Amino acid sequence: MYQSVPNSIDGDSAELSFFAGQTMTLTEAARNGIDEIPEALNEIPGGRKGQLALMQQLGAYIVKVSRASSTVTDNLPQGIVTDDPTGFITGRKVACEDFALSESMTHLSDQDDRKELRNCIERMLPNLGESPEARSFHKGLERNDLEVILDCFNQLERIIQQSLQCDPAPDVPIHNEVKPANVGAVYDSDVNHWKITQSFDFDNMGFGTSENGDKTPLEKDLGRTLSFFAFDQLTGEFYAENAKATIKGYLERLAEKMSEAEIFRLQNYVRLGIVTSYLWRSSYLAEELQGRHTQIQLARIDPGIHVTQIRKFDSWLKSNSFIAMLEGLQNTEKMEQHHELEKEYLQFRNSEAYYATREEGGLREYNIMLDAAHDQINFNE
């Protein structure tokens, strides 16, 4: 499905003026497929093999959607600032709004902040009703789940900021949140192969121009995706094999190996993705917590599961090396072949032939051939 954006946009749609005069690919219908991936991993078609095949496609899709969407940014105003490299500007704002906290309190700088946070929560707890989700949220806040989340949030901010100062991220034109509700796919059970047919979440998309790119590293997108697909949504268990499959698909679409700094950031962005889920799911209960009538009609899942996920991941890291897992994936002959394909693509992307092909409407065919070449390498395994 394609949407042509008018040359002049005003009124309620003025915020879309960045895309004026452009044609955007929105979705491709998931015929004979699924319109969104189930959050319960055991409901994904194809059993365990189907799960892992899908994870690999999702990893690749993170890179592909950023790359393919880069043409949308060609004519954006150069002065626009869109990046949030560490991912904490929005997150801290959500925490303040969800729990009626001051910005300074979210930093938990001293024991007075912690005492005031607990007092604030204690004052609001009686507002929560008797629904099962409200009672679960109540128990989690009594266990100081919010304090655990904010501690993790603040620790990650320091670590990721320091990493980006030492190893700045390159310009990334498009960021997209590849998560279950955003993704449609078709499964071919005969060859255990998935085709991603749609992945679009405009509300959570970040973008920049070639002159003013988004300095947020693309591994943040991968970390967010892993926070959904590498963890059990009921028990919180971390599934390393799911993570490996997703990361493998991602690595195949890079022209170079990930550096140790990027791998370390990815590990931290997985934790940040979980923290982000806690904050967003808390927002579905925020109005009730603050004593206001809620308009939320969505399913309100207990945010406390994300505290469990963080603890399960940290427990796994105590006896396993995330860096060693990833290095084992990228230091193979097959991965070198994938990287060579992507180097050829980058040469094409930076050539006059790319723009000529785009004008002629031939980019879709080029990308199909590139996908087929990557698939052939994997089929030969």
Do 279 and 345 lie in a common domain?
no
What angle do helix axes 145-166 and 132-142 make, rounded to 10 degrees? 70
Exposed, middle or buried, 316 (CB in 10 Å: 0-12/13-18/19+)? middle
C-alpha dist (Å) from residue 62 to 106, 177, 289, 366: 31, 8, 35, 18
3-state secondary structure of 175: strand
Can you tell me the distance from the alpha carbon of 255 to that of 252, in angstroms, rounded to the nearest whole number? 8
Q: Do 352 and 263 belong to one domain?
A: no
The pLDDT of residue 158: 92
Name the pTM for this structure. 0.85
Cα separation of 117 and 121, whole Å? Answer: 6
Give a yes or no: residue 30 inside a domain: yes
Rounded to whole angstroms, the Cα distance separating 82 from 98 reads 23
Kindly state the tokens that stand for 38.
């189930």
Same domain, 188 and 321: yes
pLDDT tens string, the chain, 381 residues long: the values are 344 545 554 544 444 444 455 444 444 444 555 666 777 777 888 889 999 999 999 999 889 877 776 665 555 555 555 556 666 777 888 889 889 999 999 999 999 999 999 999 999 999 998 888 889 999 999 999 999 999 999 999 999 989 988 888 877 767 777 887 778 888 888 989 888 877 766 555 565 555 556 677 889 889 999 999 999 988 999 999 999 999 999 999 999 999 999 999 999 999 999 999 999 889 889 889 999 887 766 667 889 999 999 999 999 999 999 999 999 999 999 999 999 999 999 999 889 998 899 888 888 888 889 999 999 999 876
3-class secondary-structure state, position 13? helix
Do residue 265 and residue 196 come from a single domain? yes
Which of 52, 380, 379, 51 is closest to 245 using CA atoms? 52
140 backbone dihedrals φ, ψ, rounded to 5° = -65, -40
The pLDDT assigned to 22 comes to: 47
Same domain? For 145 and 158 the reply is: yes
* Number of DSSP helices (H) and strands (E) in the chain, helices first: 13, 6
Q: Please report whether residue 293 resides in a domain.
A: yes
Beta bridge partners of 196: 185
Is 95 within 8 Å of 150 (Cβ atoms)?
Answer: yes
Q: Which two tokens stand for residue 317?
A: 């890291």
Query: Angle 145-166/260-289 helices, nearest 10 degrees?
Result: 150
**b vs e for 194-219, b when ≥16 Cβ sit within 10 Å of the residue's Cβ?**
bebbbbbeeeeebbbbeebbbbbbbb
381 occurs within a structural domain: no
Same domain, 371 and 255: no
Residue 71 lies in a domain: yes
| Domain match, 276 and 305 both | yes
Same domain, 87 and 181: yes
3-class state of residue 283 by DSSP: helix
* Residue corresponding to tokens 């955007």: 24
Spatial CB neighbours of 124, under 8 Å, sequence gap ≥ 6: 99, 100, 289, 290, 291
Q: What domain range is 156 assigned to?
A: 2-339
Q: Are residues 334 and 346 in the same domain?
A: no
Same domain, 366 and 274: no
CA angle 109, 152, 131 (to 5 degrees): 105
Phi, psi of 188 (to 5 degrees): -105, 100
Task: Please check whether residues 224 and 353 belong to one and the same domain.
Answer: no
Residues 272 and 364 in one domain: no
Report the candidate in 160, 272, 204 with the shortest Cα–Cα distance to residue 65.
204
Domain count within the chain: 2
**pLDDT value, residue 152:** 95
Cβ burial, residue 23 (10 Å; 0-12/13-18/19+) = exposed
Whole-number pLDDT of residue 123: 94
Alpha-carbon dihedral sign for residues 144, 146, 152, 154 = negative
pLDDT at 87: 63
Q: Tell me whether residue 148 is in a domain.
A: yes
Angle between helices 111-124 and 89-99 (to 10 degrees): 50
Per the domain annotation, does 321 fall within a domain?
Answer: yes
36 in a structural domain? yes
Residue 15 sits in a domain of what CATH number?
3.90.1200.10
Whether 74 maps to a domain, the answer reads yes
